Every structure is written in C-alpha cells, then in structure tokens.
Structure 1
Amino acid sequence: MSDRSLFLYALCGSQRRVSTSRRLLEALRDHAPESISIEICDLIGDLPIFNPDDEGERTPADVIAMAEKIRAADGLIVSCPEYAHGIPGGFKNALDWLVSRDEVPFKPLMFAHASHRGDLVLALLTDVLSTMSLHIVEEAFLRLPLAGKTDEAQAALVDEAAQDGVLRTSLERFRRAIEERAG
C-alpha cells in the first residue's frame, strides 16, 4: 500500500441528514485508514435547477465550489438511494451541472450502496456516470444494507462492517485502482 494521502469527495444522492446513504458515507469517512480523508459534499441541496444558460461566467458559486472539490479529489464516492425507480431529482440536477465541465472526466468513482435493493438506480447511475466519462471502479463496490432498519440496527451493522474490515477493504481496493491508473 502507498503512504501517499488520498482525498476522496463523497456525493450523497439523498439530501436527508439522517439518510442511510449519508450514514454509509459517514461510516466510510469515520473508519477510513489515516492515509485516506473523505469529505462529504453538503452543496447538492443548495444548487439551483440546472440551466445551460447559467453556465460559463454565470455559473453559480455553489456549483463552482463543488466542481473545485471534485477537481482536487483523487476519487469520488457516490451513495444514492432509488426514488420511484430512478435517480433522486436533486442528485441528477447536481450531475447535470457537471456534465459539460472538465473536472469529472476519467475521475475514479466507487459506489457505496446502503440498501439490499435499488439495483435499478445503480444501473441508471452507471449509465449516466459512464456517459460523463467517470471511471467506475467495480472492485471497490460496497453494499451495506442499512435501509429499512432501526437506528440501533444500522449502528450495529456499521460497527460490524468496521470490525470485519469491510469498509476499509473497499477503500483499499479503491486506493489500489486509483494508484494503478495514476501509474
């Protein structure tokens, strides 16, 4: 393993503060190896509705701030629930703001999925993010079925995954893929 520090930027598809997707991202952040720092994006819910007329010099400050964090990141983590068989509107809006920008192409990305279901949203996100030229690192995929469980059961699952090394293993696989791509 490398001693180089990695900065990962996490994008949450749910804007609820107590969502299971956010809880999984927080668990990854809190149990990451010391050489990996994870910041969870808190800007998605504040973004205006995407309008191509507002790109360029008129790009909103929150979009610029999110894009700068993405540029600085060695990789992205996405955790997203499935809403009505699709990508939540606010999250899709955030992705739309990034489509024509140069921060995302070829950026490594790992999925962290907080449900035992929701494969449709994973397929939709894979299609959208691949179209945006992100590099999805399949071997780093993490599924921890928190959805539908009580807070206590969620906490127990997170603790068990941390103790068993599941969280760390996904992050280390992601690190290896990032380092191999960097050459």
Structure 2
Amino acid sequence: MAKIKIVGVSGSLRQQSFNTALLRNVAGLLPADAELLIYRELAELPLFNPDIDALEATPAVAHWRAALRAADAVIFSTPEYAHGVPGALKNALDWVVGSGELVDKPMLLFSASSSPTGGDKASAHLAGTLQVMTGAIIEGGELCVGSVGKKIDANGRLHDEATITLIQAMLLALLEQIKTNRAAELSMS
C-alpha cells in the first residue's frame, strides 16, 4: 500500500508559531507508513479574487490546490485572531471553495492558543467553513489546546502527556478513515 500522505496547514504565519510547532510534533507521532508535509506557502497566495481565478490560477494557487489534491487527509492547526481564523488561512480556503480539493477529504482540526479555551471560537469558525465546503472532519477530530505555551517548550517540543495522548487517538482514527477510503476506492475500480 502506498505511503499515506497528510498535509498539515498552520493558520499562523509567525516564525515561532505554536500551531506550526504542534504540526511538527504531530509528524513525529505518525507511524512509518504515513507522513505529514507542512504546507508553508500560505503567505504566497494572492487575495482571493474570482475574476483572477476565472482566467487562470496563479502558480501559488495551483501549487496549493495540487498539495491538497495529492493528500489523503489534511490537518489544520490555527490560532485564534479576534474570535476567528487568521486572514491568511481564510484566504487559502476561499481559493479552494469552487475547485473542490477539500470535498470529502478526511481532516482533523487543531486550535492552539495561549488562552485557556485554546482558540475554541477559531476552531468553531474553521469547522463551520469546512463543513460548508463538505470537508470530512472525522468524528472527534477537533482539539483546542489551551495554555499552549505551557505545553510546548522553547524548542517547539510538545511535552504535555494528556495532549499527546489525545492527538495519538485522533491520528489513529484519521489513519483508519484513510485506509477505509482507500479500500473503498479499490473496490470501485
């Protein structure tokens, strides 16, 4: 069976982002038959404009769409800005509403914040957007990591055992969904 490919998307453009660090930690929790590639080019996407998209996708947009198409699943990890997702992440999602790369794509949603609620409003906002786009957020696939600065050290290592255990369970469910989807695709061909 081909290696499982998961794209990790951090909603933060910060160099020292806790959400990007969380995704790096997730990569280390995956089994050998799966890999997580962190998409780092959100800042390269132009502001969404349907007129531009109607002509021809820019290279940055084409790259974004290709990365999502090639993935078996997507893991989003976002901070909360003004009770919502950062503009760069919302913009990236706008570029794939009509092209459909996230339709039925299995996904997990993380929100990490210094607040005790872990960015719950951003998580709810992101979940709502992805549901409209018919993304397949797996059951139990949302996690808000509150007080994240106490759970990730200065080297970006997640050391909170309770959070690690939750993420491992979510990854197991995600990988099972991917395998189920692959088996269904094989039986249809």
User: Which TM class, normalised by the smaller chain length?
Assistant: 0.7 to 0.9
Q: Is the 8 A contact 1:85 1:120 kept in 2?
A: yes
Q: Does 1:170 align with 2:131?
A: no
Q: Using structure 1 for the length normalisation, give the TM-score.
A: 0.86
Structure 2 CA distance for partners of 1:18 and 1:74, relative to 1, 3 Å: same
Residue 130 of structure 2 corresponds to which residue in structure 1? 129
Structure 2 CA distance for partners of 1:148 and 1:65, relative to 1, 3 Å: same
Q: Using structure 2 for the length normalisation, give the TM-score.
A: 0.84
The aligned runs of 1:8-157 (5 Å cut-off) are 8-115=6-113, 116-117=116-117, 118-145=119-146, 147-149=148-150, 152=153, 155=156
Q: Is the 8 A contact 2:80 2:111 kept in 1?
A: no
Structure 2 CA distance for partners of 1:35 and 1:165, relative to 1, 3 Å: farther
Please identify, of 55-64 and 23-32, the stretch whose mean Cα deviation from structure 2 is larger.
55-64
Structure 2 CA distance for partners of 1:161 and 1:64, relative to 1, 3 Å: farther
Q: Quote the Cα distance in structure 2 between the aligned partners of 1:5 and 1:60.
A: 29
Aligned length: 180
Q: Is the 8 A contact 2:107 2:135 kept in 1?
A: yes
CA-atom RMSD in angstroms: 2.5
User: Percent identity, aligned pairs only?
Assistant: 31
* Runs of at least 4 residues off by over 4 Å: 153-156, 162-166
Kindly state the Cα deviation for residue 149 of structure 1 after the two structures are TM-superposed.
3.5
Structure 2: 5+ residue runs without aligned partners?
Answer: 185-189
Structure 1: 5+ residue runs without aligned partners?
Answer: none
Kindly state the Cα deviation for residue 169 of structure 1 after the two structures are TM-superposed.
2.7
Please identify, of 119-128 and 108-117, the stretch whose mean Cα deviation from structure 2 is larger.
108-117
- Which structure dedicates a bigger proportion of its chain to strand? 2
Q: Quote the Cα distance in structure 2 between the aligned partners of 1:96 and 1:13.
A: 14
